[in-house]
Structures are given as structure tokens and as C-alpha cells.
Amino acid sequence: MAYGAVVGKREGIGRFKELASPSSLLQLTVAESILAQDPSLCSYMDVENPSSLDFLHAFQKELGTLEELLSHHDRGGFEEKFMATASLYSRGETAMATEKVYRAIEANRE
């Protein structure tokens, strides 16, 4: 929901789609599909989930780290963070995910 709000308010969806990378377009597609859901169901799932706040706090912490790296133009730190995060996943998982992203993008163009 937050991703969709930022795209809609900051860039405008049409402009964003013109400039976005394939993975950003896929993230927007996911956000759009979430926003097409019943708000009552989504609020129930997020508000009543005991892990939602912990997940949100962890996500905010990660965003803070990224903000710090970007504000200091720290490409080395960014690449270290990227590689450390990627190492949490197996090569097979990331390769399969990349393939799924491109298949989804192709399907989205139809």
C-alpha cells in the first residue's frame, strides 16, 4: 500500500510506468493488485496480524539504512548491503525469481 501511495503521489502512475525498471513495474503491479482488494479484508489481515508491527518496524529500519547509503552516495556500502541481502537467498531462488519477474512482465504487456 505504501509503495502504491508513493508512486501515485510523487511521480504519477503514468509517468512512473514510462521511467520504471522491469522490477519496479512488477512491484507496481503487485501494489495495484493489493489496492484492488476489499479494504475491510486487508485491514483485518494487517491490523489483526500480531507480526505486522514487528515486520513494519524491521522494514522501516531497512529503509533507514538505505536512506543513509543513498544520502551519502555510498555505492560501496549499497553494494555490500545488496550482496549481504542477496546472500540470504540461494542462487537457485534468485534465478527462478528473475525468470518469474520477466514472465510476469511479458504477461502484463498482453
- Give residue limits of the domains in the chain: 1-48, 51-110
Q: Coil, helix or strand for 4?
A: helix
Q: Does the pLDDT at position 28 exceed 70?
A: yes
Q: Does the pLDDT at position 110 exceed 70?
A: no
Please give the average per-residue pLDDT across 32-39, as a whole number.
93
| pLDDT at residue 109, as a whole number | 67
pLDDT tens digit string along 50-90? Answer: 999 999 999 999 999 999 999 999 999 999 999 999 888 87
- Indicate if the alpha-carbon torsion angle 88, 94, 104, 17 is positive or negative: positive
> How far is it, in rounded angstroms, from Cα 29 to Cα 36?
11
Record the cell numbers describing residue 8, joined without a space. Answer: 501515485
Burial class of 7 by CB neighbour count within 10 A (0 to 12, 13 to 18, 19+): buried
